[in-house]
């Protein structure tokens, strides 16, 4: 799922300075689960931003609301109530939600409260780790289910570099070498033959290098 | 109760059932009656049913807003002075066993000096509450 983290309070306070009435809008899906942008976090953030230490230019009032998904234009249009006196929205969604919101409420500034960080998985309670870079050309079938695009700092496709020591990456002793994991897994699966095959240079046009990507579902609604 | 609500425009066309990606909707024809059923656990609340309904019959806001279902009801211990709810009886029994002493049903105000930190210390260290309060 999409993982995001709260921006520093000072940065948020600075970006909403001068606006009088703020709607703090949580998002009910990914960022609720990763404990950064749900209803509870929206309430806590609105209280923290009300603190006098943020000076006389801080907003007078904060409304708090949460909608199931900020990344769906029609749901926002149909079900989100923005107070009449609202002069800016502080969104606790991922970047997709912030931009969708800005597209729907074109007259209002939409300010992000989170930094969208990665596509990750819950590793242990409270800890999410990056697992997928969304490169658009999944190669997990050949790498033992461990992604060298997301988990190898150099995004190598044909084995570890010289910086792999004792199963750890030279980036940090706390970071596993993805290729050490891949080799162990392929060995366990008795599929080291996959490691013997040379993986050719990746076509990055399916990644962001090909410009913003669009996915169109092949199935139109069946309402006949 | 169901949070999947339709208004009286629903004509049972099954567009919602056919287009539910989570297979959270189905229909059952019994005798002369067709019933549409919804499974809240399977439902991804994606809104596809609401989007495709040609009659505008689906009141999706109920699925967004939800409601509160009762899970369990447990007897409470209240402060013997002011009546403020403190904890459940079962929780007090658990604490009593862990601390090996009876717990007075008193709130923080009427308990006087015993802070919540002292309770926590007592549970974590196995000391008596008096020792942990020192």
**A123 at the B interface (CB within 8 A)?**
no
- Write down the pTM of the prediction: 0.83
Coil, strand or helix at A127: strand
**B44 at the A interface (CB within 8 A)?**
no
Contact B54 A79 (CB under 8 A): no
**B20 at the A interface (CB within 8 A)?**
no
C-alpha torsion angle, residues A80, A81, A84, A86 (rounded to 10): -50
> What average pLDDT does this structure show over B128-134?
72
> In this predicted complex, what is the ipTM?
0.73
Of B15, B47, B60, the CB nearest to A223: B15
Of B19, B51, B61, the CB nearest to A222: B19
Q: Which two tokens stand for residue B39?
A: 């499974």
d(CA A80, CA B122): 48
Structure confidence by residue, pLDDT tens digits, B82-116:
899 999 999 999 999 999 988 889 888 887 656 67
d(CA A155, CA A101): 34
**A84 at the B interface (CB within 8 A)?**
no
Coil, strand or helix at A2: strand
Ranges of residues in chain A whose predicted pLDDT is under 50: none
Of A22, A24, A50, the residue nearest A38 (C-alpha): A24
Instruction: Give pLDDT, residue A208.
Output: 84
Of A59, A51, A62, the residue nearest A9 (C-alpha): A51
Contact A221 B52 (CB under 8 A): yes
**B18 at the A interface (CB within 8 A)?**
yes
Contact A223 B19 (CB under 8 A): yes
**B51 at the A interface (CB within 8 A)?**
yes
Element (H, E) at A186: helix A178-188
Contact B18 A222 (CB under 8 A): yes
Instruction: Give pLDDT, residue A224.
Output: 60
**A72 at the B interface (CB within 8 A)?**
yes
Of B24, B59, B62, the residue nearest B44 (C-alpha): B24
Q: Which residues pair with A14 in a beta bridge?
A: none
Q: String of b and e for A7-37 (b: at least 16 CB within 10 Å)?
A: beeeebbebbeebeebbbbbbbbbbbebebb
Instruction: Give pLDDT, residue A218.
Output: 75
Of A75, A222, A223, the CB nearest to B47: A75
Reported in sequence order, the residue ranges of A74-148 that DSSP labels E, i.e. its strands, are 88-91, 110-112, 114-124, 127-132
Of B19, B60, B64, the CB nearest to A221: B19
pLDDT bin (cut points 50, 70, 90) of residue B117 is confident
Reported as half-sphere exposure (CB side, CA atoms, 13 A), residue B125 has a value of 13
> What average pLDDT does this structure show over B70-90?
94
> What average pLDDT does this structure show over B117-127?
80
Structure confidence by residue, pLDDT tens digits, B43-55:
999 999 999 999 9
d(CA B7, CA B16): 14
pLDDT bin (cut points 50, 70, 90) of residue B133 is low
CB within 8 Å of chain A, chain B residues 78-107: none
């Amino acid at each position: 799922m999409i993982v995001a983290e709260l921006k520093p309070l000072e940065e948020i306070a600075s970006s909403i300075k001068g606006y009088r009435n703020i709607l703090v809008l949580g998002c009910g899906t990914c960022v609720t689960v990763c404990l950064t942008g749900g209803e509870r976090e929206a309430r806590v953030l609105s209280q923290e931003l009300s603190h006098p230490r943020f000076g006389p230019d801080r907003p007078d009032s904060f409304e708090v609301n949460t909608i199931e998904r900020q990344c769906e234009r029609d749901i926002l249009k149909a079900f989100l109530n923005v107070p009449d006196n609202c002069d800016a929205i502080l969104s606790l969604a991922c970047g997709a939600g912030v931009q969708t919101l800005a597209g729907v409420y074109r007259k209002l500034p939409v300010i992000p409260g989170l930094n969208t960080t990665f596509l990750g998985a819950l590793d242990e309670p409270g800890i999410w780790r990056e697992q997928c870079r969304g490169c658009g050309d999944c190669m997990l079938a050949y790498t033992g289910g461990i992604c060298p695009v997301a988990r190898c700092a150099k995004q190598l496709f044909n084995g570890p570099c010289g910086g792999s020591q004792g199963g750890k990456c030279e980036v940090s002793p706390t970071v596993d070498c993805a290729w050490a994991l891949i080799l162990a897994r392929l060995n366990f699966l008795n599929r080291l033959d996959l490691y013997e095959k040379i993986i050719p240079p990746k076509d990055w046009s399916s990644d962001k290098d090909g410009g913003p990507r669009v996915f169109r579902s092949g199935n139109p609604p069946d309402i006949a | 109760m169901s949070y999947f609500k339709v208004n009286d425009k629903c004509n049972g066309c099954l567009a919602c059932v056919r287009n539910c990606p989570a297979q959270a909707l189905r229909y059952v024809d019994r005798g002369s009656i067709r019933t549409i059923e919804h499974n809240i656990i399977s439902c991804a609340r994606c809104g596809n049913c609401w989007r495709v309904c040609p009659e505008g019959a689906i009141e999706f806001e109920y699925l967004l807003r939800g409601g509160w279902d009762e899970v369990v009801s447990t007897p409470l211990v209240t402060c013997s002075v002011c009546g403020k709810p403190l904890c459940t009886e079962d929780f007090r029994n658990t604490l009593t066993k862990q601390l090996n002493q009876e717990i007075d049903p008193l709130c923080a105000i009427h308990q006087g000096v015993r802070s919540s930190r002292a309770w926590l210390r007592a549970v974590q260290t196995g000391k008596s509450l008096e020792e942990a309060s020192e």
